[in-house]
Amino acid sequence: MFNKIILVGNLTRDIELRYAQSGSAIAKTAIATSRKFTVNGEKKEETCFVDITFFGRSGEVANQYLRKGSKILVEGRLQFEQWVDQASGQKRSKHSVIVETMQMLDSRGEVSQGGYSEDSESGSNYSGGYDAPAQKAYTPPPSYSKPSPVKMPENNLPEIDINEDEIPF
């Protein structure tokens, strides 16, 4: 099965950073995404709030560079959480996102830019201008220039005829 979600939005609160007994960082926050649309000539906006969780070094990086209002792109997997509310005794549930990759989207003058993904257990993979993980302020690469728009290729994929009985799921 495939479980992947990509969200772009703004953080709704500062990051809460904690550490597990193993010493691994766990950072929690939430992201707000919005969609603008028109219904019968009336412009409307729909906002979706989603809790997100970072683990390991990505949680520490997020805590260091992100604040409430920071614009961010996250890729991860959707997780269904269930618990019993201690106050009312009722069963509660929600979906949240476990972040696997993030990209900071604020402009250079605001919070730092760049991307971060935790590709291995022993280290991390930075992209987007960090000189070192422990660096306090963002330093742009020496030859920074705004990327030019890229023309999307046409979809010239061949049509495949598959019998439903041949699909394994």
Cα–Cα separations (whole angstroms), residue 131 to 57, 59, 73, 114, 138: 16, 18, 21, 11, 8
pLDDT digits (tens, 9 = 90+) for 125-135: 333 333 334 44
Residue type, 8: V
Domain ranges of the chain: 5-154
- Residue bearing the bigger pLDDT, 118 or 126: 118
Burial of 104 (0-12, 13-18, 19+ CB in 10 A): buried
Determine the average pLDDT of the residues in 97-104.
94
78, pLDDT greater than 90: yes
pLDDT digits (tens, 9 = 90+) for 15-41: 999 999 999 999 999 999 999 999 999
Query: What CATH number should be reported for the domain whose range is 5-154?
Result: 2.40.50.140
123, pLDDT greater than 50: no
pLDDT of 168 reads 63
**Token representation of residue 130:** 């960090």
148, pLDDT greater than 70: no
- Number of neighbours of residue 27 by Cβ within 10 angstroms: 23
CA dihedral 93, 95, 96, 98 (to 10 degrees): 110
- Global pTM reads 0.62
